[in-house]
Each structure stands twice: as structure tokens, then as C-alpha cells.
Amino acid sequence: MTSSRTSSYKPALAWFAALSAAWVFGVVTLGAFTTSIHAGMAFPDWPLSNGSINPEGWLTEIDKFAEHSHRLFGMVMGVLTVTLVTWLQLREERGWLRKLAWAALVVVVIQGLIGGKRVLLDSLPVPGFEMSLGQMLRIPHGILAQVYVCMLFAVAAGLSRSWIEGTSPSASAAAPRPSVGIPSGTRLLAVVSSLLIFVQLIVAAVMRHNNAGLAIPTFPLTPEGGLIPAAWDFRVAIHFTHRAIAAVLSIVLVWLAVNLWRSPAVGRGLKKAAGLIVVLLTMQILLGAAAVWTIRGPYYTTAHVIGGVSIFAVVFTVAWWSYREAIIRRETASSLTA
């Protein structure tokens, strides 16, 4: 009996996965804007908003629009993820891809529950801390969003025509075709860059939700005219850490882009990704500066958050793609020993 599952390119499924990966940026954008205008408690209940899916005032009041739109986009994101998992389970033979989609579903469910608890536990104090338990939950809620984005991009990459129909190992697992693509040194740099960006996003979430975005209210120098703050507390420290990591990342990401451009083994798509990394990095620096100069203007601050997620998605995809040949070799070996 022939299985309906195949690892061949499926245009409809591939485009659906790409759509799901794109949709998550809408969820993140609305979440970032909600935080930027302090609208996280525009509705004190959950999962409904003021007991309704169409609450009064959400199309006319900006705080209600931001929060309720974020919830609606999140609900659609959950439906898209369930659909993607089901589709893969029925049609995709690659076990690692199905498992990755299931993991993404687990993450989005946890993400939704944390978002709900952030609202329901907003008034619950935590001894010794300024933030309530609900307010603290904003931090893991923001961090998990970054993990979820990477999972969706990994699934979408694995379903793409380039991944499936590109250069692959020979049929013999014992003597595979020599690997082409990203050299090992550049591959390691892409992985390190991804990890460093993830650390930066964690620091940014802590800074953002501790209202430390203006702990150093001038840029690029401190109010005293130097690079190092004259007075320190937690907010200043987390803000300064964010700037310091940004400086390191600027060097590392340009280094990664140059390595991708210079390598003759790297394909045109990855070279374009290198150009995109530099463009996004430049925009991110300018948006970070604008967020400070405009005293955390909500539109600049939101754009800065989206810029960080975009850089993470691109760099992670480059790192993920660098292991394509190894993943395909493992697939081939598994199929031959099955």
C-alpha cells in the first residue's frame, strides 16, 4: 500500500507555510505596538475582550484596537498552526519536519496561555518586585514569540522548492556527494550570530518591560557626554547591556555578510540574504536611535522591535540553511536503513 505522505515539493503546502511565517509578523507588530502605548490591559478579561469577540470601542479607541487586534491575530495564528500541523501529518513523510511543526504548535499554545495569564494575573503582586506577576509574564511572552518565529521559518524553509529540489547527496549514504554551500567557518559564524541575537532579544524584552528604554535618555553618548553612564542601577545596567550587545552584533553581522559575499560556494540566494542583513542592521540602528530621540515614540519603538525580529529570522534562516546538506544526508541514510 502506497503512503499518501511524500517529501516531494508541494506548492500549496509550501506557500501556506510561508503565509503562516509572514502572518506571525502581524502578531508581533500588534503586540509590540500594544506594549509601546501601554495598552496591555485595555481589556481586563481573557480570552474574550469585555466578554465579546467584537467589543465596543475597539475600532475607534487606539488602545482597545491594538490589544484586541493582537488577540485576533493570535487566534488566527493558532488556526494557521493547527492547519499546518495537520497538513504535514497527512502529506509529509519527513518525520523531523512533522515534529518541528508539532513543537511550534506547543509553543504557540503556551504563548497564548502566557498572554492570557498576563492579563488575568495583572493585579497579583510579587513580594520584593515592582512588577506584578502578570506584568512579569510579558517577558517570557515576548521571548517565546522569537522562538516561534524561528520554528515557522525552519518549517517554511524545509518545504521550499530550493530545499527539496536543490543539490542533494547521492543515493549512496556511504559515499555522499561533497557538500556545497556555506563553509564550516561561516556556518559557525551564522550559528553564533543567531545565538547572540537571541540573547539580545532577551535583554531587550527585559529592558522594555522594566520601562528601561530611556534609562540612558541620549544617544549615542550618555547625558554626561561619554559612552559609560556615570550612575548605575538595574535599569541603566540593562539598557547599557542592550547597547553594548548591539555594538558587538553590528561587527559580527557585517562579518557574517562579508563572509557570505566572498565565498564562491555560497549561492545567490544566501548572498542576497547577506545584503538584507546589512540593510536591516542599518535600519535597526537608526530606529533604535530614533526611539530614544523621540522619547520612545510608539511607532519608532514598534518598528525597532520588528526590525529585531526580522534580523533574527533572516540570520536564523541562513544558519538553518547551512545545515541543509547534513539534514538531507541523514534523511538519505535513514531511508536506506529503514
* 174: confidence class by pLDDT, cuts 50, 70, 90: very low
Three-state SS for 6? strand
Closest CA to 240 of 224, 257, 254, 251: 224
pLDDT value at 133 more than 80: yes
Q: What DSSP character marks residue 53?
A: S
Three-state SS for 52? strand
pLDDT value of residue 168? 38
- Span 277-316, pLDDT tens digits: 999 999 999 999 999 999 999 999 999 999 999 999 999 9
CA separation for the pair 250, 103 (Å, rounded): 31
pLDDT value of residue 165? 84
pLDDT value of residue 177? 41
Question: CA-based Rg of the chain, rounded to a whole angstrom?
Answer: 22
Peptide bond preceding 140 in cis form (omega within 30 of 0): no
Provide the percentage of residues in the chain whose pLDDT is more than 70: 93
- Span 224-265, pLDDT tens digits: 999 999 999 999 999 999 999 999 999 999 999 999 999 888
Mean pLDDT of the chain: 92
The span from the first CA to the last CA of the chain, in angstroms, equals 16
What does pTM read for this prediction? 0.91
* 2: confidence class by pLDDT, cuts 50, 70, 90: very low
**In contact, 124 and 48? CB cutoff 8 Å:** no
pLDDT value at 176 more than 70: no
pLDDT value at 180 more than 80: no
pLDDT value at 338 more than 60: no
* Torsion on CA atoms 231, 232, 237, 243, rounded to nearest 10: 0
